Amino acid sequence: MRTETLILQNLLYNDNYSSIVGIFLKPDYFKEDAEKQIFIEIQKHISEFNKAPTKEVLSVKLNNREDLNEAAFNKCNEVLETLKGKTDDEEWLIPETEKWAKDQAVYNGIVQSISILEGKDKKASKDVIPEILSEALAVSLDKSVGHNYLEDGEGRWEFYHQKETKIPFNMVMLDKITNGGISPKTLTVLLGGTGVGKTLVKTHLASQYLKQGLNVLYITMEMAEERIAERVDANLMDTELHDLHLMPKDTFEKNLDEMKIGRLIVKEYPTAGAHVGNFRALIRELKIKKDFTADVIILDYLNICASSRVKWAANMNTYIYIKSIAEEIRGLAVECNVPIITSSQLNREGFTSSDPDLSNTSESFGLPATADLMLAIIAKDDGVGTNNQILFKQLKNRYSDISLNSKFLVNVVKKKMMLVDIEENDQPALANDGSNKYYEKKSDANSSSNPLAKEFKIRPKLRTEKAYDDWNI
């Protein structure tokens, strides 16, 4: 007996089997047209009535199909007559169905890939082939029937007490609001206007992860590979960007040799010219060719990625498109078991706002729904004139209560592409009234450790066009 026959008759006569495998099977897995049409009608009936149809009902449904001629209908009836009842050995049949479904998916994926390579499929590019094959290989049946609250209590207790894997930022306030850092399988989004320092923040974080001995994959579609590496060099060597160009070769090489850091790969793609399919292929290639596995992926930046699922068109809804990109990127984070850090532009209203919120996400409010951590970054002057600063504002945080430390400052040494901590006790009390004011603590007014403390007063700090110009480095 053919596997297809076993599958069809158990879909009809075995409710448990049907509930496990039915949702994962696809019509194009069936190569014989009659079997495919029977499966389609079974699937439709279960979806509508939540139970399998009888053979008599199937025969009527097929007879009412205008797209089936008499010969096709008779063939379907012949197949129906062979479906006698359920298989006793369900324990064997379920994994056998899984193997069969995966084999069919891989076969279909190979056929589709060949069609793309030969130019027969005009709707898809060659870039999607790795993703097509990956999806085919990932086909599997969900055999879980869910979490039993009472019976699985011990497992929950162990989950509550296990130590979660975290990757620290090595920044006091960022680590505080995330309870020690970001987790694998998560998406972090930095939200800011043009020129406020999003790339500076990302290259600083890349440097911090390298200092921890972690491997970092930095994907850029906005800036050249050499420019990203230049910013990391300035940070790690504690050297101004200008001085890098004056540094003797032997000094530069000596500095590199003395670094005890992880590995960094910087890969540049054309703007809007790459999607997660390309990133997934790159990750595999780096593993094979360079024995490189990323611990953290930094993507610069989300809005200029392409979608692997949705083809951009001039009349396309940007909500759908950007949300699709965000979902694909987070899916990649889950697939690769790494955190991904990226950024997104503010929309027109947010660009001029001194206190942006989730509604100021450029092009798509669907992005915040996908992100695990979202931080707005606002360029500021410290009021003293010694350092520039960035104001971080929490917009979404799955790690802790967003109302705690909702805003905080870090100092910025732009010439070295470096962030410098302001300790928690030295943070000003920031107003959350939409004015972007901050209030200095009177108790800290004379503290030498607080560069902001001069006297107890309110300092309004609004972003200006000049503020943005100052950050275009």
> What structural domains does the chain harbor?
3-137 (1.10.860.10), 172-423 (3.40.50.300)
Tokens of 322: 């950007």
Reported as a single tens digit per residue, the pLDDT across 289-346 is 899 999 999 998 888 888 776 666 555 566 677 778 888 899 899 989 999 999 888 7
State mean pLDDT over 174-179.
Answer: 93
CA gap 248, 255 in Å, rounded? 11
pTM, to two decimals: 0.62
Closest CA relative to residue 8, chosen from 104, 93, 89 = 93
Residue type, position 128, single letter:
V
**CA angle centred on 243, ends 242 and 249, rounded to 5°:** 125
Cβ neighbours of residue 341 closer than 8 Å, sequence gap 6 or more: 182, 188, 190, 202, 205, 296, 297, 298, 299
Reported as a single tens digit per residue, the pLDDT across 177-225 is 999 999 999 999 998 877 788 899 999 999 999 999 999 999 998 888 9
Tokens of 41: 């009608």
**Angle formed by the axes of helices 3-13 and 90-117, nearest 10°:** 120
Reported as a single tens digit per residue, the pLDDT across 89-140 is 888 998 899 999 999 999 999 999 999 998 888 777 787 887 788 778 777 7
